Amino acid sequence: MVAMDVLAGTTRTVNLLEEFGAKRSFVIGTSRGVGRIPTDEQAEVALLDVRATSLMAGIRKAEHALNNLSAETIARVDAWDPDHTAQVISTIFSGGKPIAGRRILGARPLSWQALEDKTVIDALWDAAGVARAPYRVVRIADLAQAAPELDQGLGTVWAGDSRAGFHGAATYLRWVRTPEDAIAAAAFLADDCDTARIMPFMEGIPCSIHGIVFPDYVVALRPCEMLVLRRPGDSRLTYAKAATFWDPQDVDASQMRAIARRVGEHLRASVGYRGAFTLDGIMTVDGFRPTELNPRFGAALGVLTKGIPNLPLNLLNQLIVEGHDLDFRPQALEQLILGHANIRRFGVASAMSTTGVTETLEVDGVFEGDVWREAHSGEERDGQFILGPSAMGSYLMVVLEPDRTPVGPSVAPRSAAALAFADERWSLGLGPLEPAKEVRGR
């Protein structure tokens, strides 16, 4: 059984299960999404059609819908699996509750999930011996008073706790520079959070490093650039996916991999962790500084492994989490992914919009100077723009052409310009977006 927030996102998993000899799957999606969906021959499909006003709201409403299926949908599942022997492959964000009475494959213990709280993770950096920025965790009412102590000249970043559940995509993150920012940020966070972590704003490239914890080895992969864009005059930050075109200095990449190994070993020793995790942070003028831990399969892992044949890494990860005793060969896996990711780069810029669409629209784009335009007939494209329906209204995906995107520098400027082009073409209401600044050098 495959149960996810986006129906189109289940297709690859269903294809893999079919290749592995699984019987006809039962697939549940809470929204249709962009792309091909499983065929009737491959799967019995239930579409719940959940609507939401933001990315995180969509994730939470999808989880709630999957955990509270209608009697009709449960009856369909029971008819498909009368012996209740099926297991569920769900989203990378899944809280692990059974769906339709069937257990989640690779469900994470609560002790692992708790580490995603931005207000508790700094203790882990200290325990693992990882250099970090100064911070304070304070009550929402005390944020404005405490923030100036940590301001190093560029303002501060406030990250809310997980009282309302895990959060990502910069949803409960605010870059506070003015008293007006502080008032608005505190009012926003107060709705769903009791406390927040304050850190100095650190200029540099947002980036991540992924690890995979095995019983006797921690796989450490290469850095990825996180496309976190800024809004002029606004404290909100916009998460726009990830890419592997950017290269930090060799010494910084080695340091990030060493940090990933150290953190992975600490996770295994302290909470019995298994499987993939992600460290997010900033490549500052002084080197990498972590900001959060995602104790789960990270979205950028799909970017790192794009194009590797016969590597169902998400399914593999779920088996690692389950503790299956298979011939995993972690060192060989590490070398396979590193060898591929260092040569074959990939990246996607994305955005959610309340502008509704009912069909998928595609445009080929060319990047000239610092702006995008539509490709002429027969002209080689620098990126493919795809706009389709989503729970929020529409979902934009810009796939950067690997062979026509420079390797080395940040792709955030190119990505911000791509979103601006799409915003103008389709009236998405995204507004101006600016890239982070590279301050460390390569």
My answer on whether 144 and 289 are in the same domain is no
Q: By the 8 A CB rule, do 203 and 410 touch?
A: no
Q: Mean pLDDT for the chain?
A: 93
Do 257 and 401 fall into the same domain? yes
For residue 324, what are the domain limits? Answer: 202-442
Tokens of residue 94, six digits: 């899944």
Tell me the C-alpha distance between 190 and 74, whole Å.
37
pLDDT by residue (tens digit) across 39-49? 888 999 999 98
DSSP 339-395: HHHHHS--EEEEEEES---SS-EEEEEEEETTEEEEPPTTPPPSEEEEEEE-SSSEE
Residue 197 is assigned to a structural domain of this protein: yes
152 falls within a domain? yes
Query: What CATH number is given to the structural domain containing 372?
Result: 3.30.470.20
Whether residue 89 is found in the same domain as residue 219: no
Pair 372, 294 in one domain = yes
Among 107, 126, 146, give the residue marking a domain's end: 107
pLDDT in tens, 284-316: 999 999 999 999 998 899 999 998 988 889 999
Number of structural domains (the chain) is 3
pTM: 0.92
The whole-angstrom separation of Cα 185 and Cα 236 is 9
Considering the domain boundaries, does residue 127 fall inside one?
A: no
- Which of 201, 230, 246 is at the close of a domain? 201
- Residue 19, classified by CB atoms within 10 Å of its CB into exposed (0-12), middle (13-18) or buried (19+), is exposed
CATH number at 157 reads 3.30.1490
Q: What is the pLDDT along the chain (442 residues), one digit of tens a residue?
A: 999 988 888 998 999 898 888 889 999 999 888 888 898 889 999 999 888 877 778 888 889 999 999 999 999 999 999 999 999 999 888 888 999 999 999 999 999 999 999 999 999 999 999 999 999 999 999 999 999 999 999 999 999 999 878 787 888 999 999 999 999 999 999 999 999 999 999 999 999 999 999 999 999 999 999 999 999 989 999 999 999 999 999 999 999 999 999 999 999 999 999 999 999 999 999 999 999 999 999 889 999 999 898 888 999 999 999 988 888 899 999 999 999 999 999 999 999 999 988 889 999 999 999 999 999 999 999 999 999 988 888 999 999 999 999 999 999 999 999 999 999 999 999 999 999 999 997 6
Q: Is 417 helix (H, G, I), strand (E, B) or coil?
A: helix
